[in-house]
Amino acid sequence: MPVMAPAISLNTLLHTNIHMSGGVIGKERDGGTASSRGLTGRPPLEKVRGKGRSMYDDANTVKKTFDQEFLSEYLRQAQWAEMIELKKAINEISRRKGGQIAILDIGIGNARIPKHLSGIKEIWDMVGSYDGIDNAENCIGISNVVVSEMGLGDKVSVKQMDAANLGQVRKKYDLVIVTWFTAGNFYPDDFPFEGYGKGSERYDLGRNAKFEKVFGLAYKHLNPGGEIIIGSAYIDNESTRKRQEDFYRKCGMTVITGPEDSFTATVERFWSQRFTEERMKKYLYFVPSENISFIALDTYEFAMMVRIRK
């Protein structure tokens, strides 16, 4: 997967809505073309909410969730904790293999993980290749700039792809990572955003077909002895729910879920699930349960890491 290096700075990307096609990035100053903008100069709400767009194609979401200053201390420190555990895991898996490992990053976002891993030579030397996918054009644009500006193109490649289409990827990996709450973003295709929360009926997450599909495919893409690492997942409890809701409201979104739900969704089609160990194991029914381990990322039941070994 070759890396196309667009001639646009990261700062511009983080503060602008971008659209990319055929490897060329075009910048639209006000977040849309004249014909797509409403009278307010902002994209019409139906476009922001539009079914075909991914959650992270909304420039506001990208700007705020990737802005370290804007994040809550809970979210920021979950990143620190998962990074520490991730480095230990890369070290272990590389030693077990006896050489460099191939990594697939599902939902690479703004390339935060390769950006920081590459700064630690001892760890980065253990990585032979690093492929990132993301279904948001915005994130692919940002990641390509990071890869280009940091000169990581010898190992890192980035491609726009929905995780549900992983079956199209031919390569096998020693480590598949899904970091910083991304695993909770795989919402079922039939989730009824429109009107949700208005009646008493709640969405049953006893099963989550999308989650199971993505991780089933990821598991198939592992070399023997390889691992999937869910970097951080929200732990399902009241205080985590409230912290999630507070953050999405701070981002300017309207929450449509409540205490009865084990996920938080917004009018703007943002969706984020919380988990218990039991539910994780249920969704990961195709993995022998002794191959699944959980690591607490804090002492206050906010986030956990899940390691899944083949």
Catalog residues that contact ligand SAM under the rule CB under 6 A: 54, 56, 107-109, 112-113, 133-136, 139, 162-164, 179-182, 185-186
Name the residue nearer to ligand SAM (CB basis): 64 or 112.
Answer: 112
**Bridge partners for 176 per DSSP:** 104, 228
Whole-number minimum distance, CB 117 to ligand SAM, in Å? 11
CA nearest to 67, candidates 246, 268, 250, 234: 250
Whole-number minimum distance, CB 41 to ligand SAM, in Å? 25
Tokens read off for 299: 């002492």
Name the residue nearer to ligand SAM (CB basis): 203 or 215.
Answer: 215
Name the residue nearer to ligand SAM (CB basis): 123 or 164.
Answer: 164
Where is 21: in which H helix or E strand? strand 18-21
Beta strands in 85-216 (DSSP E): 101-106, 127-134, 156-160, 173-178
Provide the residue type at 59 as one letter.
A
Round the CA-based radius of gyration of the chain to a whole number and report it: 19
Whole-number minimum distance, CB 257 to ligand SAM, in Å? 17
Name the residue nearer to ligand SAM (CB basis): 94 or 272.
Answer: 272
The DSSP secondary-structure symbol of 255 reads B
Exposure letters 256-267 (e unless 16+ CB within 10 A, then b): bbeeebbbbbbb
* Rounded-to-10 torsion of CA 104, 106, 111, 114: -30
Name the residue nearer to ligand SAM (CB basis): 158 or 222.
Answer: 158
Name the residue nearer to ligand SAM (CB basis): 51 or 198.
Answer: 51
The DSSP secondary-structure symbol of 34 reads T
Whole-number minimum distance, CB 143 to ligand SAM, in Å? 9
CA 98, CA 93: separation in Å to the nearest integer?
8
Provide the residue type at 272 as one letter.
S
Whole-number minimum distance, CB 39 to ligand SAM, in Å? 29
Tokens read off for 4: 């196309």
Whole-number minimum distance, CB 44 to ligand SAM, in Å? 21
Residue 64 CA to its chain's centroid (Å): 14
Name the residue nearer to ligand SAM (CB basis): 180 or 203.
Answer: 180
CA 138, CA 26: separation in Å to the nearest integer?
11
Name the residue nearer to ligand SAM (CB basis): 173 or 181.
Answer: 181
Provide the residue type at 205 as one letter.
L
Whole-number minimum distance, CB 57 to ligand SAM, in Å? 8
Tokens read off for 206: 């006893």
Where is 175: in which H helix or E strand? strand 173-178
Whole-number minimum distance, CB 242 to ligand SAM, in Å? 19
